[in-house]
Structure 1
Amino acid sequence: MMPSYFFAHGAPSIVLEDNEYTKLLKNFKDNIPRPKAIVLFSAHWEESVQTVSATETYETIYDFGGFQDELYTMTYPAKSDRSLSERVRALFEKKGIQSVLNESRGLDHGAWAVLKLLYPEADIPVVALSVNRNLSNEHQYQIGKALSELREQDILIIGSGGTVHNLRRLNWQSEGNDDWAEQFDNWLQDKLESWDTEALFQYHELAPHAQEAVPTSEHFIPLILAMGSGDTNRQANLLHRSYQYGNLSLSCWQFN
């Protein structure tokens, strides 16, 4: 069965960087079977109804400003897979989850920056999925779980976001890690590895420094979605954790 993954996408410039985290992403394809397709939840696509992309060939969305000029010339011309988009909708419908198709939206940087590191040739079909911060964490988990059988069909499920994502607390000159960010991620690691969904669904009340780490939930949601898709075996493995600018987490979780 194909594992599912959560990748932190950090700052948009991550696609230009050379560090331990980007090395892991660049070597990722050498360590798992080649997927038939990729289904990806991006923190940067928010909709009130679960939306499933069905764009024939994606345009590249530059949903950021103030970064290197090179980023604005990058493209990721992946194609979608209409039949898979319909299959995803059918799986949602089976679980009573309302969803709609979108046939025009491109890939935002939460999607393409990660995918460009993972599969730079853009030769694997991609179905992008939105997130909705107004749903409960339990509901988010069920959305991910609804897609779990895709893993048996060699389809790679990815959540792209960030566990600690507070742009107001970033220190652009920092070379160290902020204690409060590490304390939050340590709590999170314990609950993920023990598959303690009861605590995880209440992380904002229970986790240390949760208000600072997750001031808004859209970047955290893809972690719960990816975890939900791993509900069959309930095994979580932390493959990497580091930080940019003091507290912007770069983490990779594998759910088997």
Structure 2
Amino acid sequence: MIPSFFISHSTPRMSIEVNEYTQFLQQLSQTLPRPKAIILFSAHWESNLQQVSEVLEYPVIYDFYGFPDEMYQIRYPAKGDIPIAQEIEGLLDKYGVSYEVETTRGLDHGAWVILRLLYPNADIPVISMSVNPQLAPKEQYAIGKALSALRTNDIFIIGSGVTVHNGRALKRHEKTGQADEWALEFDDWLAHHLKNWDVDSLFNYERLAPSVQLAVPVYGNEHFIPLFYAMGAADDVKKATLLHRSYRWGNLSQSVWQFG
């Protein structure tokens, strides 16, 4: 059974960088069984109703601006898998989760940047999934839980986001990798409750977590919530392991959590 994962997609620059974090992601897939398919919940695909991709071959979405020209030439021709998408839809039906089928949308950078590092040959089918920031964390977790049985069929479930993501607080001149105290404080709180599978506290992170107004600002929780989808997908095991944590620009977290 393949664990589910929360993987930070950090910054689009990862697509052209070689550093400790990109090298970690390149090696991560070598430690796992080869998946039959990948289900990926991306922070950059928001919707008020759960969306499930039935795409035959994904175009790349360059949903960023002001970056080097070479980044806009990158291709990642991942294919979809309609039967697995329909299996997902069957599980959502079973657990009473409303959804819509999407047949044209490409992969945003929250998806293709990390997939290209994990599986550079684009030879594993992908089913892209949206996230809904308006849902309560308990409901986001429940959507992941509805899909948990797919892990027994060698399907790799990923939530792609960033645990500490505040564009207004970034220090783009910071090159040392040192993290702001408030970012560490929030991620330490998160780590403690994830490792204890304390969903009561985690579902109330907006009220309980230290420095939450900085780490997950009210104008943008979409990067944090993929964590709940990925965590819910391992509800049958309830084990969380931090595999990597680093920072750039003072507080942009690069963390990888394994669930299960």
Report deviation, 1:196. Answer: 0.2
1:163-178 → structure 2 map (5 Å cutoff): 163-174=163-174, 175=176, 176-178=178-180
1:82-231 → structure 2 map (5 Å cutoff): 82-174=82-174, 175=176, 176-215=178-217, 216-231=220-235
Local SS of the residue matching 2:120? coil
Identify unmatched segments of 5+ residues in structure 1. Answer: none
Work out the CA distance in 2 between the residues paired with 1:28 and 1:177: 24
| Partner residue in 2 for 1:254 | 258
Work out the CA distance in 1 between the residues paired with 2:134 and 2:151: 27
Report deviation, 1:21. Answer: 1.4
Work out the CA distance in 2 between the residues paired with 1:12 and 1:20: 15
Per-residue Cα deviation, 1:115-142 (whole angstroms, up to 9, x for no partner): 0000000000000000000000000000
Report deviation, 1:65. Answer: 0.5
Local SS of the residue matching 1:246? coil
Report deviation, 1:204. Answer: 0.9
Is the aligned partner of 1:30 residue 2:30? Answer: yes
Work out the CA distance in 1 between the residues paired with 2:190 and 2:28: 23
1:43-58 → structure 2 map (5 Å cutoff): 43-58=43-58
- Give the residue type in structure 2 aligned to 1:218: E
1:54-93 → structure 2 map (5 Å cutoff): 54-93=54-93
- Give the residue type in structure 2 aligned to 1:191: H
Q: Percent identity?
A: 53
Identify unmatched segments of 5+ residues in structure 2. Answer: none
Work out the CA distance in 1 between the residues paired with 2:101 and 2:207: 35
- Give the residue type in structure 2 aligned to 1:148: S
Local SS of the residue matching 2:104? coil
Report deviation, 1:17. Answer: 1.7
Work out the CA distance in 1 between the residues paired with 2:48 and 2:253: 26
Q: Tell which deviates more after alignment, 8-17 or 154-163.
A: 8-17
Report deviation, 1:59. Answer: 0.3
Local SS of the residue matching 1:55? coil
Work out the CA distance in 2 between the residues paired with 1:6 and 1:16: 21
Work out the CA distance in 2 between the residues paired with 1:88 and 1:24: 29
TM-score (norm 1): 0.99
Size of the aligned set, in residue pairs, is: 256
Work out the CA distance in 2 between the residues paired with 1:95 and 1:116: 32
**Residue from 233, 236, 243 that aligns with 2:240:** 236
Local SS of the residue matching 1:2? coil
Work out the CA distance in 2 between the residues paired with 1:238 and 1:70: 32
Report deviation, 1:22. Answer: 1.0
| Partner residue in 1 for 2:16 | 16
Work out the CA distance in 2 between the residues paired with 1:225 and 1:140: 5
Report deviation, 1:10. Answer: 0.6
Report deviation, 1:188. Answer: 0.1
Report deviation, 1:255. Answer: 0.5
Work out the CA distance in 2 between the residues paired with 1:14 and 1:245: 14
User: CA-atom RMSD, angstroms?
Assistant: 0.6
Report deviation, 1:16. Answer: 1.6
Per-residue Cα deviation, 1:190-222 (whole angstroms, up to 9, x for no partner): 000000000000001101000110012101111
Per-residue Cα deviation, 1:86-127 (whole angstroms, up to 9, x for no partner): 110110110000011100000000000010000000000000
Local SS of the residue matching 2:18? coil
Deviating above 4 A after TM superposition, structure 1's stretches of 4 or more consecutive aligned residues are: none
- Give the residue type in structure 2 aligned to 1:193: K
Local SS of the residue matching 2:210? coil
- Give the residue type in structure 2 aligned to 1:115: L
